[in-house]
């Protein structure tokens, strides 16, 4: 099948590469000429395990191509996927200007039937706006061209996106007609062959499903962090509590790990957008406000603990930080807890030496020219003379460090573990002052 994807960001690239891998002919359109040039030279501008090899293989087989030529894209595809950004506005609402600009372009160029698919994360009612925008552009040139509009939200996890696309747990399709449903079923058939994972529904329900899914997961994270803070004050161990409640199949173990809060490009933006959508229809969404508030406070919890231990002042202290990406297996630092940690420490007069297995280039870009922020050659290269080690991301290589070497390099044997990687009893035997999240040991009141 011939597929056009507008937007060569995270969703567009993963979707395009996976559809091409299934044998489709994919044209990816982007307005960023420099990005398109890099992609055509075999450079993938984002980090996602396996994506670069997938794109190289399908470029070599001429199943995927990249262009800035929107007319070429519209002429090419039976399926016209809109996967451009929807950044939050000042009020938290999703900015649909890029989505509607693509819809207008499609309407200005469309010559034959096409399925216009919103793949971007968008609020309820966006498909109606896309339909109206395409219709207005067609009317302006007195063209009578048939088209369908479909909502097809994505549920890709950064770091596991290819696996998620190739073997989805569900494919949600929002349509208002049988023709579009059958075409979408054919498009996704290679990925749902073993088990029919395709779920069809009305368009508005499909649009709400993605926001609802991400908001639910964010709620679980904030709820667990709230419990962790309670556990710390009452002397309980949240890790034991986690096992106790996770064994209940109604709750499960997913997304109930306490930590320093959620980040990335999805949860923060989608919770804000859902709050705004609720307000527009007269609902205050109190739970979602609480999810945001808990998460914002949790991002600075390690710094608050460190400040308390150091007697209230961080000025002049050197702090080592392990983990910059908002989660493992990505270089994405958008809304990452590490950003709050670094910014708060620098504002308080401390210096930060950080390390991340993948996100170093992104950190250099974000903190270019900041003299009190440095990057270590490796994890141990951050430690010399540091008043404490803070851990913000649960990378595998941080799970079993050389603790003797840590003690030798740190100015004081202090670890503030935002991901509960270590056994408190072991760390105590090794002579460390160990401050975790909700472990009920060495609790430091804010």
Just list the catalytic residues: 266
State the Cα–Cα distance between residues 116 and 80, nearest whole angstrom.
5
């Amino acid at each position: 099948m011939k597929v056009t994807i507008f937007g060569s960001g995270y969703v567009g690239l993963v979707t395009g590469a996976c559809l091409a891998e299934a044998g489709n002919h994919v044209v990816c359109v982007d307005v960023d000429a420099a990005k398109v040039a890099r992609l055509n030279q075999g450079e993938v501008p984002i980090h996602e395990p396996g994506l670069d090899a997938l794109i190289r293989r399908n470029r070599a087989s001429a199943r995927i191509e990249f262009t800035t030529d929107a007319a070429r894209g519209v002429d090419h595809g039976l399926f016209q996927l809109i996967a451009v950004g929807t950044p939050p506005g000042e009020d938290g609402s999703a900015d649909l200007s890029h989505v509607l600009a693509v819809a207008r372009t499609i309407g200005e160029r469309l010559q034959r039937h096409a399925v216009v698919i919103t793949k971007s994360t968008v609020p309820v009612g966006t498909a109606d706006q896309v339909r109206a925008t395409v219709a207005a552009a067609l009317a302006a040139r007195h063209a009578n061209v048939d088209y369908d509009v479909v909502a097809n939200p994505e549920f890709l996890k950064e770091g596991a996106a290819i696996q998620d696309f190739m073997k989805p747990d569900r494919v949600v399709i929002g349509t208002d007609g049988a023709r579009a449903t059958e075409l979408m079923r054919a498009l996704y058939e290679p990925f749902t062959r073993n088990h029919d994972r395709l779920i069809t529904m009305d368009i508005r329900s499909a649009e709400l499903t993605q926001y609802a899914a991400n908001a639910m997961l964010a709620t679980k994270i904030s709820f667990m962090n709230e419990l962790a803070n309670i556990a710390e004050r009452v002397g309980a161990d949240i890790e034991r509590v986690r096992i106790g409640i996770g064994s209940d199949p109604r709750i499960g173990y997913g997304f109930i790990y306490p930590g320093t809060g959620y980040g990335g490009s999805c949860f923060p933006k989608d919770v804000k957008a859902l709050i705004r959508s609720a307000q527009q229809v007269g609902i205050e969404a109190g739970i979602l406000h609480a999810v945001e508030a808990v998460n914002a406070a949790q991002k600075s919890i390690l710094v608050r603990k460190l400040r308390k231990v150091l007697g209230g002042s961080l000025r002049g202290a050197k702090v080592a930080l392990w983990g910059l990406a908002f989660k493992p297996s990505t270089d994405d630092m958008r809304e990452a807890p590490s950003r709050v940690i670094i910014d708060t420490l620098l504002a308080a007069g401390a210096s930060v030496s950080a390390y991340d297995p993948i996100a170093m280039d992104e950190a250099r870009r974000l903190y270019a020219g900041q003299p009190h922020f440095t990057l270590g050659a490796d994890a141990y290269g951050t430690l010399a003379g540091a008043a404490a080690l803070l851990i913000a991301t649960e990378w595998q290589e941080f799970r079993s460090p050389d603790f003797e070497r840590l003690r030798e390099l740190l100015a004081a044997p202090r670890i503030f573990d935002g991901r509960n990687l270590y056994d408190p009893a072991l760390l105590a035997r090794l002579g460390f002052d160990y401050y975790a999240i909700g472990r009920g040991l060495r609790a430091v009141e804010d």
